[in-house]
């Protein structure tokens, strides 16, 4: 059992310290950097909170979409899309489109959750 | 910077042997180019200039300073609001690298201020109309132009050339990005037929345009200019990713799209704009990913570059919606 507070708690506390205590004391030319620090901590916090399950689920679906060695699945999908093999009217078009939406949405949940509305 | 050598060269170029440098200060920004605020006394009168040169040990990734000087000169001659280009020194022996000198323009370019501060630009609709007129003047520059020969021959098909260039860049980066491929493939299927080429600025967006209270003070950053489809610039300026949070203001986050296009005045094929806006979104995603790669490679450790990479998923989310609607 690791010592508490855990990473999530520490990151959230550090982010609050940057925004509430450090930022107001900084000259304007350093404020942008402090905001970036807070943004980076927020991002790391969301990544920690999200865990690994969603990535595993996406990877499992990807395995069913394309045939390639595990480390080259994404590369294979990208190549097949470029070749037009998942254009509208092809058998896997809808399935690939749905996978891509989830792939983008789940990454945006961490990188830019506000963009998802 | 060898100030004595610079003074000697400027004295000769300006025809005033008594020219005096009163201040020379490095300006912030520009990882590839260096800008210096250069104050001189010329014929007894104070002049405020900018000296623009390459950063040391930077590989050529965009136009050279002499080429940029030619572009600025062509733009100024066409009536585009640019800082007056004054002197070009292609001789590397003076300060160690080629440089040029242009007039120093006062104004605000910082995008988050430009989109929020309604006192800038002479009114929001008037500002985007003026920007439309600036772009029309740029697009009035057509090949062939001996002075712009370094731009090479125009692409036979600017749309397909743009797709090919982004694919090459994705391949060079080496990270598979199926969503961006999906967008590029949609563009390929629906590529518009070629138009007669014009000079495209290729980075005409909020952040590269300096405004003052009256209007447009300067169109900056000409290093990516080239021959292409005029809709490429219109799409780049209007793309959602360049509105800096002011999404409802479709012209650069500053004002209404209709006012921008009315100011532009030249014929616009409205059907081409969604195509070029999708291309713009993919192009920015590719650039953002490359910026993060610079950080990740250890070449340039930077929190800003690192965070820029995290814009990619949001851009990809937009790419999927735009490709669907194309």
Backbone angles phi, psi at B203, to 5 degrees: -150, 35
**ipTM value:** 0.93
Residue B61 has pLDDT above 70, yes or no: no
Radius of gyration, alpha carbons of chain A: 20
Could you give all domains of chain B from N- to C-terminal order, each with its CATH number?
3-103 (3.30.200.20), 111-325 (3.90.1200.10)
Name which of B53, B52, B45 is nearest B20 in CA terms.
Answer: B45
pLDDT at B216: 97
pLDDT at A30: 87
* Test the A interface: residue of B111, B286, B313 with most A CBs within 10 Å: B313
CA angle at residue B93 from B89 to B97, to 5 degrees? 60
pLDDT at A116: 82
How close A81 gets to chain B, by Cα (Å)?
Answer: 6
pLDDT at B58: 53
pLDDT at B25: 93
pLDDT at B57: 55
Residues of A in contact with B311 (CB under 8 A): 111-112
- The chain-wide mean pLDDT, for chain B, equals 94
Task: Say how far apart CA B245 and CA B115 lie, in whole Å.
Answer: 8
Radius of gyration, alpha carbons of chain B: 20
Structure tokens at B30: 């520009």
Task: Say how far apart CA B172 and CA B190 lie, in whole Å.
Answer: 25
Do B52 and B65 touch, CB atoms closer than 8 A?
yes
Distance in Å from the first CA to the final CA of chain A? 37
The confidence band for B1, taking pLDDT boundaries of 50, 70 and 90, is confident
Peptide bond into A5 cis (omega under 30): yes
Structure tokens at B254: 């500053």
**Residue length of chain A:** 117
Strands (E), chain B: 20-26, 33-42, 45-54, 85-89, 99-103, 198-200, 209-211, 216-219, 226-228
Do B150 and B70 touch, CB atoms closer than 8 A?
yes
Q: What's the whole-number mean pLDDT along residues B302-326?
A: 95
Cβ separation A75–B176 shorter than 8 A: yes
Q: What's the whole-number mean pLDDT along residues A17-38?
A: 92
Residue A114 has pLDDT above 90, yes or no: no
A70 CB burial (10 A radius; 0-12, 13-18, 19+)? exposed
The confidence band for B202, taking pLDDT boundaries of 50, 70 and 90, is very high
* Test the B interface: residue of A39, A73, A82 with most B CBs within 10 Å: A82
How close A74 gets to chain B, by Cα (Å)?
Answer: 6
Residue B7 has pLDDT above 90, yes or no: yes
Q: What's the whole-number mean pLDDT along residues B79-100?
A: 94
Task: Say how far apart CA B138 and CA B81 lie, in whole Å.
Answer: 10
Cβ separation A108–B317 shorter than 8 A: yes
DSSP letter, residue B90: -
pLDDT per residue over B21-43, tens digit each?
A: 999 999 866 556 789 999 999 99
Q: What's the whole-number mean pLDDT along residues B255-278?
A: 96
Residue A16 has a CB neighbour count (10 Å cut-off) of 12
Q: How many CB pairs under 8 A join A and B?
A: 75
Q: What's the whole-number mean pLDDT along residues B175-197?
A: 97
The CA distances from residue B123 to B116, B126, B181, in Å, are 12, 5, 40
Task: Say how far apart CA B232 and CA B157 lie, in whole Å.
Answer: 12
* Highest mean pLDDT of the ranges A23-27, A83-87, B28-32: A83-87
Do B276 and B235 touch, CB atoms closer than 8 A?
yes
Q: What's the whole-number mean pLDDT along residues B193-210?
A: 96
Cβ separation A40–B178 shorter than 8 A: no
Task: Say how far apart CA B205 and CA B111 lie, in whole Å.
Answer: 9
The CA distances from residue B207 to A58, A109, B114, B243, B252, in Å, are 37, 27, 8, 10, 9
Q: What's the whole-number mean pLDDT along residues B303-313?
A: 94
The confidence band for A62, taking pLDDT boundaries of 50, 70 and 90, is very high
Write the residue in B167, B179, B314 that is nearest to A103 by C-beta.
Answer: B179
Residue B236 has pLDDT above 60, yes or no: yes
Q: What's the whole-number mean pLDDT along residues B273-288?
A: 97
pLDDT at B31: 58
pLDDT at B88: 96
Task: Say how far apart CA B190 and CA A29 lie, in whole Å.
Answer: 45
Backbone angles phi, psi at A103, to 5 degrees: -60, -45
Report the relative pairing of strands B99-103 and B209-211 from DSSP bridges: unpaired
Q: What's the whole-number mean pLDDT along residues B295-322?
A: 93
Do A86 and A93 touch, CB atoms closer than 8 A?
yes
Three-class SS of residue B80? coil
pLDDT at B27: 86
Cβ separation B178–A36 shorter than 8 A: no
How close B279 gets to chain A, by Cα (Å)?
Answer: 15
How close A50 gets to chain B, by Cα (Å)?
Answer: 16
Name which of B229, B75, B54 is nearest B147 in CA terms.
Answer: B75
Strands (E), B99-191: 99-103
Residue B263 has pLDDT above 60, yes or no: yes
Nearest CA in chain B to A73: B176
pLDDT at A4: 92
Element holding B295 (H helix, E strand): helix B272-296
Residue B59 has pLDDT above 60, yes or no: no
């Amino acid at each position: 059992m690791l010592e508490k507070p855990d990473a999530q708690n520490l990151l959230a506390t550090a982010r609050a310290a940057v925004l509430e205590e450090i930022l107001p004391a900084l000259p304007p030319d350093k404020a942008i950097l402090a905001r970036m620090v807070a943004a980076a901590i927020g991002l790391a916090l969301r990544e920690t909170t999200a865990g690994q399950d969603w990535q595993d689920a996406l990877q499992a679906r990807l395995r069913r979409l394309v045939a390639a060695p595990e480390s080259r699945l994404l590369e294979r999908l990208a190549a097949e899309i470029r070749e037009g093999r998942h254009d509208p009217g092809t058998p896997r078009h809808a399935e690939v489109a749905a996978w891509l939406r989830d792939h983008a949405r789940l990454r945006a949940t961490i990188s830019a959750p506000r963009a998802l509305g | 910077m060898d100030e004595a050598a610079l003074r000697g060269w400027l004295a000769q170029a300006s025809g005033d042997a008594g020219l005096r440098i009163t201040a020379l200060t490095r300006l912030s920004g520009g990882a590839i180019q260096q800008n210096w605020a250069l104050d001189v006394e010329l014929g007894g009168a104070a002049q405020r200039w900018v000296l623009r040169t390459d950063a040391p040990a930077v590989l050529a990734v965009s136009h050279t300073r002499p080429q940029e000087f030619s572009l600025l000169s062509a733009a100024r001659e066409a009536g585009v609001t640019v800082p007056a280009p004054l002197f070009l020194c292609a001789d590397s022996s003076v300060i160690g690298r080629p440089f040029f000198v242009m007039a120093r323009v006062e104004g605000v370019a910082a995008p988050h201020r430009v989109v929020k501060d309604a006192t800038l630009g002479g009114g929001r609709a008037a500002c985007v109309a003026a920007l439309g007129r600036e772009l029309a003047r740029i697009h009035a520059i057509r090949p062939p132009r001996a002075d712009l020969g370094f731009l090479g021959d125009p692409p036979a098909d600017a749309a397909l050339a743009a797709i090919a260039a982004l694919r090459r860049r994705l391949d060079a980066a080496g990270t598979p990005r199926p969503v961006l491929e999906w967008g590029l493939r949609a563009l390929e299927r629906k590529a518009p037929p070629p138009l007669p080429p014009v000079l495209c600025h290729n980075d005409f967006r909020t952040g590269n345009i300096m405004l003052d209270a009256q209007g447009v003070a300067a169109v900056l950053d000409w290093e990516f200019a080239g021959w292409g489809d005029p809709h490429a610039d219109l799409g780049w300026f209007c793309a959602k990713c360049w509105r800096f949070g002011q999404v409802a203001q479709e012209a650069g986050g500053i004002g209404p799209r209709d006012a921008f296009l009315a100011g532009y005045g030249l014929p616009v094929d409205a059907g081409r704009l969604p195509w070029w806006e999708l291309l713009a979104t993919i192009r920015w995603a590719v650039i953002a990913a490359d910026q993060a790669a610079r950080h990740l490679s250890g070449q340039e450790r930077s929190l800003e570059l690192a965070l820029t990479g995290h814009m990619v998923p949001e851009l990809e989310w937009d790419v999927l919606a735009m490709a669907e609607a194309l």
